[in-house]
Amino acid sequence: MLSTFLGLITRYEGRKFVKLNDALDESQIVGLGTDSDNQISLYIHIPFCKSLCPYCCFNRYLFREDEARRYFKNLTTELNLYIHRGFKFSTFYIGGGTPTVLMDELLGFISYLKEKFEVKQISVETTPREVNEENVNLLKEAGVNRLSIGVQSFNDSILKSMGRAFCTGEEIREKISIANGKFDTLNLDLIFNFPPQSIETFEADIEILKSLRVNQVTFYPLMPSPHKKNALERRFTRVDTSREKAFYSVILRDICGDNYLPSTVWCFSKGERIIDEYIINFDDYIGIGAGSASLLNGNFYTNSFSLNRYEELLTQGKLPIMRWRKLSEHELLYYYLLSKLFGMRLVKKKFHKRFNANIHQKLERELLFLKLFGLIQEKDGEINVTRKGMYPISVMMREFFAALNGLREYCLENQI
Ligand SMILES: C[S@@+](CC[C@H](N)C(=O)[O-])C[C@H]1O[C@@H](n2cnc3c(N)ncnc32)[C@H](O)[C@@H]1O
Ligand code: SF4
């Protein structure tokens, strides 16, 4: 009940947040310095996959080698535009799509990053299909610290219904053993509350997962965009969010404990690990690549989702930004609170530095409400999410991402 209420508020706020317009203010795009000074990270989007999963709302296209090679060139052009504006980065998240679809281009791009910046961390996403000895060694040699593999499930029948029959559960396990121990962080992504999934199949997935002894796992609640949701429901049954809590309780019971501690309400790590939710660790981030989003100086903006338009604008020497909005103070505060609670902790001093005010001055009502229901507690200058608070925060985050997925779907379908 409480989760549903918080979810509805977030849905409303999330939809407002993603209502962007096309009035671009380029004067706002100036470098802020390095991550350590000003907390800015770079997200790099590679929108190609060898097959397209029916539930996925990221900007992605079926892989074509010539198109992908051109894209990597454009990506370098876009990065150079930011470099010329004085941006410096040291933390890089390469996501997709599937960044490893064209390894020579990916490695070339990573070399370019190392040439231009003092690289501290590189995180790369991949699918089990691309995991093999050769690729793992190449990524390691290139200095990748974190590899994240999209497993989704180990159950063959669920993999098939997810459109991911390219590897069986058994093959996925073998591939994970190739990569395990090679990177500072090896993360596995799993999805929960997919329509044909039952609690029993999910519990079996978690048993397998635990036996693999990887140092990080991220569980995503299914978050389809409106059209993807309809398509899934035509094929299976209703996408029923009332089942979600039962799945999440299994995660809390079987994963969140002595061995794995929550880095976010969805990501559980053994020890200190890199997480890919750059929205938590960095107040500002730039996204490059088709369909990427950025948050800079209180502005939220997205690049063109269309590969042609993306290339066209870069060829004209312009940043490929299509939608833009300056967020209000209320929206920035709300986003800050949500993203930090998603990451389990908000440091009051950092809030003060960011907003030049005490958090209680700005968000007293919200904090009182969350505290009253036992979702957060305050201690030693921090606000922490309690175990009871984890599921409600997960629901809020799901609703926020669902709003973002709605924007992605709109932009992709209209080739904005
Ligand atoms: C952008 S994908 C990249 C990983 C890689 N392409 C793969 O699929 O193996 C990152 C993760 O997002 C999650 N994801 C994608 N679409 C989702 C959706 N509609 N709802 C929930 N999670 C989703 C999946 O768990 C996936 O591993
Ligand atoms: S889930 Fe991964 S492989 Fe599937 S379409 Fe999305 S990005 Fe591509």
What pLDDT score was predicted for residue 168? 95
**Residue pointed to by tokens 């590897």:** 167
What CA–CA distance (Å, rounded) separates 117 from 120? 9
**Distance between CA atoms of 166 and 50, rounded to whole angstroms?**
10
Region 29-38 average pLDDT: 57
pLDDT, tens digit (0-9, with 9 covering 90-100), for 127-181: 999 999 999 999 999 999 999 999 999 999 999 999 999 999 999 999 999 999 9
Write down the H helix ranges in 86-183. 103-116, 133-141, 156-161, 169-179
Q: Looking at the domain assignment, is residue 399 inside a domain?
A: no
Residue 58 CA, ligand 1 centroid: distance in Å: 8
Mean pLDDT on 89-113: 96
Higher pLDDT among residues 36 and 282, named by residue: 282
Rounded distance between C-alpha atoms, residue 281 and residue 274, angstroms? 10
Cβ neighbours of 410 (radius 10 Å): 16
Using an 8 Å Cβ cutoff, are 148 and 123 in contact? yes
Q: Among 133, 150, 172, 144, which residue's Cα sits nearest to residue 96? A: 150
Query: Which residue from 45, 220, 251, 399 has its CB within 8 A of the most atoms of ligand 1, so it is best to mutate?
Result: 220
The stretches of 224-328 forming alpha helices (DSSP H) are: 226-235, 244-254, 278-281, 307-315
pLDDT of 87 above 70: yes
Residue 398 in domain: no
CATH code, domain with 152? 3.80.30.20
Lowest mean pLDDT among 172-181, 265-274, 276-285, 293-302: 276-285
Q: How far apart are the CA of 30 and the centre of ligand 1, in A?
A: 31
Contacts with 40 (C-beta within 8 Å, 6 or more apart), sequence order: 32, 33, 34, 87, 89, 282, 283, 284, 285, 286, 296
* Mean pLDDT calculated for residue range 40-56: 94
What is the pLDDT at residue 258?
66
Provide, rounded to the nearest whole percent, the portion of the chain with pLDDT above 70: 94
- Confidence band, pLDDT 50/70/90 cuts, at residue 2: confident
Amino acid identity, position 252: L
**39 band by pLDDT with thresholds 50, 70 and 90:** low
Q: What mean pLDDT do residues 351-361 have?
A: 92
User: pLDDT grade, residue 36 (50/70/90)?
Assistant: very low
Find the domain containing 71 and state its range.
25-280
Whether ligand 1 lies within 6 angstroms of the CB of 224 is answered as yes
Q: Does residue 251 form part of some domain?
A: yes
The Å distance, Cα 163 to ligand 2 centre, comes to 10
Q: Establish if 206 belongs to a structural domain.
A: yes
Say which range, 16-20, 249-253, 324-328, 334-338, has the weakest mean pLDDT: 16-20
177, part of any domain: yes
Closest ligand (CA of 223): 1
Query: Which residues have CB under 8 Å from 368's CB, separation 6+?
Result: none
Nearest to 412 by CA among 43, 15, 52: 52
Instruction: Judge whether residue 37 has pLDDT over 70.
Output: no
Q: Which ligand is nearest to the CA of 99?
A: 1
Residues 105/48, Cβ–Cβ less than 8 Å: no
Q: For residue 352, is it within any domain?
A: no
C-beta 96 within 6 A of ligand 1 = yes
CA triple 168-173-177, angle to 5 deg = 145
Helix (H/G/I), strand (E/B), else coil: 22: coil
Of the pLDDT bands very low, low, confident and very high (cuts 50, 70, 90), residue 23 is: low
Q: What's the gap in Å between 111 CA and the centre of ligand 2?
A: 25
Q: How many CB atoms lie within 10 A of CB 34?
A: 17
Helix locations, 154-219, DSSP H: 156-161, 169-179, 199-212
380: left (phi over 0), alpha (psi -120 to 50) or beta: left
Protein residue with least CA distance to atom 1, ligand 1: 96
Residue with tokens 């009332």: 242
Average pLDDT over residues 235-258: 87
Residues within 6 Å of ligand 2 by CB: 49, 52-53, 56, 58, 60, 96-98, 127, 150
Domain count of the chain? Answer: 1
> Taking all residues of the chain, what is their mean pLDDT, rounded to a whole number?
90
Residue 334 located in a structural domain: no
Helix (H) or strand (E) holding 69: helix 65-84
User: Residue 34 has what pLDDT?
Assistant: 47
So what's the pLDDT on residue 35?
44
Residue 233's pLDDT band (boundaries 50, 70, 90)? confident
> What pLDDT score does 242 carry?
86
Who wins on pLDDT, 13 or 60?
Answer: 60
Domain assignment present for residue 286? The answer is no
